[in-house]
Structure 1
Amino acid sequence: MRNIKFIWRYMQGNRLLYLGAIFSIAMGTFFSVLNPLVIKVTIDSIIGDEPLQIPLWFKGIFKEIIFNNSLLSRLTLAAATLILLTAVRGIFLYYKGKWSATAAESIAKNLRDELYNHLQHLPYHYHVQVKTGDLIQRCTSDIEQIRMFMAVQLVEVGRAIFILVIAISILFSLHLKLTLVAMAIVPFIVAYSYFFYAEVKKTFKDADEADGYMSTTLQENLTGVRVVRAFARQSYEIEKFDKKSIDFREKQYRVLRYLAWFWSISDFMCMFQIGAVLVLGVYWAVLGEISLGTLVVFSSYEGMLLWPVRQLGRILTDLGKMQVAINRVQEILDQAVEYTENAGLKPTLKGEIVYENVSFSYEDSLILKDISFEVKKGQTVALLGPTGSGKSTLVYLLARLYDCQSGAIKIDGYDIKAIDKKWLRKHVGLVLQEPFLFARSIKENISFANSAADNSEIFEAAINASIHEVIQSFDKGYETLVGERGVSLSGGQKQRIAIARTIIRDCPILIFDDSLSAVDTETDARIRQALQERNKNTTTFIISHRINTLAAADLILVLEDGKITQQGTHQQLIVEDGMYQRLWKMQNELVLDGS
């Protein structure tokens, strides 16, 4: 029922096209069913001596030919009638195919658009958990599976029903006993098809998921191909992909084995049924109980009846695949979006920040424990701590990539949970440690955060990020394509372009999540100096392990095991026993040793 509602919903705007396609297949079926009747009349009444049984209107139009004793003229009329019926049938089948395909393509496009739009609004933690390859597979091959069923099999259901109703009605009017023989196997094929569908449905799901895992492995390998080659891990990656490929192949083989059994057994049942009709039909024709033309009609209709019924197995097969695809797509659509458009306050934010007893846990693991501190507008806060201490999580909470479970975070007196998320993130600029660049030009990457920025603003942002001169040294300057994920740039260049992309928005709050780690200390200092001169009222958070980077901060927070173990200025912390002092001494010793 849920899948029916899903299909009905996405058929909106295309239901008339489907009605037109169903009407066309009904008319096409009607004209195809007439062909054997024309042949029957030809054999029994034109060639034979049975009374001519055709509609009165047809006799009135062609009375000169019909009542002409010329056998050739009558056969010509019969042949012309068959050609006309076939041509009309072809026209209806053309429109059936056109309308059903148009509607299916429109449904697939609407579904793709909604799925993509939904993915854009899912929360950050969802995208952290899911696998990119699997999402791609759901957005492409799963939707393609739905489109194929809607374009072909859905209308074929109507065709099968119309053939059964029309053909059976005609057969019963011709000979009751032979009709019962012709219908004897149909219930068994239907039951067998349903049993097959129930058994094979889970196999489709397993094969589809295996395809998703294989796509994920391929996507990860192509994305990390430089790492693979740097560590000479090609053989390992090939073996890993081979395992996923073998798993997919085996599950696909299982599907094919099911299909092979179904088609072979159903073929046997259908051919046995056709043979029974032919043998008994010939027997009754010899006895004179039926005419030779009636035998031809039964032989023709038997194929028309059995193949659509046998096709029920294919329809159910594709239905099973479509249901698996719908469930996989629906799993994404069922995920709650992160926020409602235009929901929450939209105050003017200046950058005064307060953390009040903030705690956060992720999957039953307590990451932050009772964090409290205050930051004045325009101050710089530095965060130091070992890996896993909660530094990144602490600043992600400020941008509401996650929401704290207890306590409160306030900006200028407003609880951030009361502020519209889009509005909040327009005021909080975040530069990640591993910046992502799109496969576009450098100019497009920098202006991504502010599409209205002109060249002067782009150049200014690049100068402040200490990347302008480097960009100008490239052959195409700002029009240089960076390649997928920025593979054509060094780590430091990517980080600086990401910094330029963030500061071009002129946010009152900036967060650098260890995003200066790939640049040298001189460039690091130059960037921080430029940012400070650019906007002295910007509140800045810097995560780093370099004491030189942290030393100029107004407030330094040392996190260990999710707690603030030290806080103060550089001068205060270097005389206080703790992690900051140990790291300061260690880095000073390295500098002295290096000199």
Structure 2
Amino acid sequence: MDRKDGTMAKERYKSLWDLTRDQRGRYSASIAALLIAIGMSLLVPLATRSAIDEIVLGGASPWWLLIAGAVIVLFSLSSALCMYAKGRWVAEASHGVAKQARERLFDHLQHLPCTYFDRADTGDLVQRCTSDVDTLRIFLTTQLVQIGRAVLMLVILVPLLAFLDLRMTALSLAVIPFIIVFSTWFFRRVKTLFAKADASEGAMTSVLQENLTGIRVARAFGRQGFEIARFGEHAAAYRDDSFAVSRLKARYWGLSDLLCMTQVGVVLLGGAAWVFDGSLTVGTYFAFVSYINMLVWPIRQLGQILTELGKAVVAMGRIEEILEVSRESNDGDPIVAPKQPGRIAVRNLSFAHADGTRALTDVSFCVEPAETLAIVGPPGAGKSTLMHLLVRLYDFTEGAIELDGRDLSRIERTAVRSRICAALQDPFLFSRTVGENVKIGRDDASATEVVDAAETACVHDSIESFEQGYDTMVGERGVTLSGGQRQRISLSRAILADPDVLILDDTLSAVDSKTEGRIRSAMSARHGRRTTLIIAHRLSTLAHADRILVLTEGRVREHGTHAELVNRGGPYARLWKLQSTFESELAADMVPGRGEGS
């Protein structure tokens, strides 16, 4: 292990120790109970030794033996009660640590920048929040106190053995150094293998999560066989890496058992020889046979302790990788302006993604309070990127965005998002009731306000047709609903939030023209209540806007009203003509009595 690895390992141990901060009282109580239990268990062989020697020497009375037996039972019972207390307290402490670790991880993930999730695998993140935290819990439950037990055994038992007989003590410790050295070697080897196996499990979990999320796509394209084979490859890699760990553990347990039995054999044979020549009493011999089992098997468990420690260190490292990522900054003024006016000014705005891909270049425009601005452009023109910048999901590096005269980058993100609300292109719904999904942005909204927002989004009738209405549970990601229903519920929660600036990012792409017209009429009734930015590919959705912005390859190509752009004869006019012609022909074809033979 080089210096860098050593430093990193120390940091992981420290992080593991820091996790126990709030539960150290219970862990201390557990160790205290363990100390008492060890003390009681160590007294049992001493009482037995005295009884045996008295019997062998012929001086033991029945009453004395009865008292000795009662003392042995009392010590054993006290030890058992202390071990129960130890087990209970350490379990409570470990589950408390695991709960705190999961909550800390989840809280941290909630505040990480979007750029992190652009690169991260969801399945791997899930494993770190569940399986890796469970690995820590298992170590803290079963092994942390065992470390204390092994140390206490050595500290207490070795002086006691030396007090009874120095020669037997030397025999009892003859093989112990070899067991410790072998356990240390095993720990170093197994830690590397655990890291590899954990990474394989994370990759397998990612494939599983991705496939379950997109299972309809896989079936639609008949890709089940390919996906099964792909998952099989990752499952095989995880199997092989796990088997490598199991193979190493099997070698350790086999050789450590051999060493431990050798140690017991040395004590049995050497002690028997001294008993026969009269230099060791039978009672002392029995005590050493009892004590050597108390000493050697916990030390043999050092391998298991180090195994779980290795797993815990690897798991802690994977957890720390998340916790070390800097949180999304929330610097700026914590100002939440009143519900109006909502003026947006964008000046010379440029933005590039983490891989260097340019998304926006020198974009400038202004949206007055209560005005509706439509943004149109081909895929990849930068429309959605612009919306993400407006709600500070990403931060721009060149130019400026102002909200009511204030630089957006100097306003706290939470304050920005309380004033600007977006119905994003992907209408994500949580696995909750329909009503709870609508109220995502306003938990305190009344039932009347929820219904009003749903009616504006033209989804109220659909919701009422469900068996349980607004209390109907939707599946994960809203899979039990149609695409249009998901989009309209997403729109209704944006409307319910009642922001100063409303952003609709291709929100009606899965909605039919008739329903879109009804939504447009309902939204028009609200016209003037808030600043609105609309992104859409269907130009009929945009024609009613006060002004239209045309983006091409991240640049502003045209800017003006619908009439001005049509008369200008540019890209917007050509696209408008194509869509209008197509819609007219489609409407004519849908007239009854017209078709291929008419």
Q: TM-score, normalised by structure 2?
A: 0.93
Kindly indicate whether residue 461 of structure 2 is the aligned counterpart of residue 452 of structure 1.
no
CA contact (8 A) 1:46 1:74 kept: no
Instruction: Please tell me the root mean square deviation across aligned C-alpha atoms, in Å.
Output: 1.8
CA distance in structure 1 between the partners assigned to 2:578 and 2:402 by the alignment: 36
In the alignment, structure 1 residue 314 sits paired with structure 2 residue 323: no
- Aligned 8 A contact 1:376 1:539 in 2: yes
Aligned to 2:53: 44
State the alpha-carbon separation in 1 of the partners of residues 52 and 465 from structure 2.
88
Q: Aligned in 2, Cα 1:343/1:536: closer, same or farther, shift over 3 Å?
A: closer
Alignment of 1:22-33 (within 5 A): 22-33=31-42
In the TM superposition, 1:336-485 aligns within 5 A as 336-340=326-330, 344-348=334-338, 350-363=341-354, 364-485=356-477
Distance 1:314 1:70, change over 3 A: closer
Partner of 1:508: 500
* 458-467 or 209-218, which deviates more: 209-218
Structure 1 stretch 213-222 or stretch 415-424: which is displaced more? 213-222
Contact (CA 8 Å) 1:20, 1:96: kept in 2 or not?
yes
Q: Which amino acid aligns with 1:29?
A: I
| Counterpart amino acid of residue 54 in structure 2 | S
1:44–1:293 CA contact under 8 A, matched in 2:
yes
> Take 1:167 and 1:200, find their aligned partners in 2: how far apart are those partners?
30
The reply on whether 1:209 has 2:199 as its aligned counterpart is yes
Matches within 5 A, 1:135-154: 135-154=125-144
* Amino acid in structure 1 at the alignment position of 2:353: Y
5+ long unaligned stretches in structure 1: 50-68
Distance 2:440 2:112 in 1: 20
The separation in 2 between residues aligned to 1:342 and 1:304, in whole angstroms, is 62
Structure 1 position 201, deviation (Å): 0.7
What is the letter of the counterpart of residue 344 of structure 2?
I
Deviates more, 1:228-237 or 1:156-165: 228-237
Residue 249 (structure 2) aligned to one of 253, 259, 272: 259
Question: Partners of 1:48 and 1:342 in 2: how far apart?
Answer: 87
Is residue 346–residue 420 contact of structure 1 (8 Å, CA) maintained in 2? no
Residue type at the aligned position of 1:16: G
Verify: 1:525 aligned to 2:517, yes or no. Answer: yes
CA apart distance, 1:225: 2.4
Aligned to 1:54: none
Alignment of 1:48-127 (within 5 A): 48-49=57-58, 71-127=61-117
For residues 547 and 263 of structure 1, the distance between their equivalents in structure 2, rounded to whole angstroms, comes to: 72
Q: Does 1:571 align with 2:563?
A: yes
CA distance in structure 1 between the partners assigned to 2:19 and 2:392 by the alignment: 33
Tell whether the 8 Å contact from 1:344 to 1:418 is kept in structure 2 after alignment: no
Residues 341-375 of structure 1, C-alpha deviation per residue, up to 9 Å, x if partnerless?
A: 99543333522111111111112222111111111
User: Where does residue 5 of structure 1 map in the other structure?
Assistant: 14
Q: Distance in 1 between matches of 2:520 and 2:289?
A: 87
CA distance in 2, matches of 1:165, 1:395: 66
| CA–CA distance in structure 2, aligned partners of residues 162 and 384 of structure 1 | 73
Q: Distance in 2 between matches of 1:120 and 1:47?
A: 72
The two structures have a TM-score, normalised by structure 1, of: 0.93
Name 1:181's counterpart in structure 2.
171
1:190 counterpart letter in structure 2: I
Partner of 1:490: 482
Secondary structure of the residue aligned to 1:13 is helix
Whole-Å separation in 2 of the counterparts to 1:301 and 1:341: 63
1:574, distance to aligned residue in structure 2 (A): 2.7
Say whether residues 1:329 and 2:319 are aligned partners.
yes
2:35 counterpart of 1:15: no
**Percent of residue pairs identical:** 42
Give the count of matched residue pairs: 576
1:468 Cα deviation after fit: 1.3
Q: Which amino acid aligns with 2:296?
A: L
Partner in structure 2 of residue 285 of structure 1: 275
Partner of 2:580: 588
- SS of the aligned residue for 1:350 comes to coil
Measure how far apart 1:461 and its partner are: 0.4
Greater mean alpha carbon deviation, residues 236-245 or residues 450-459: 236-245
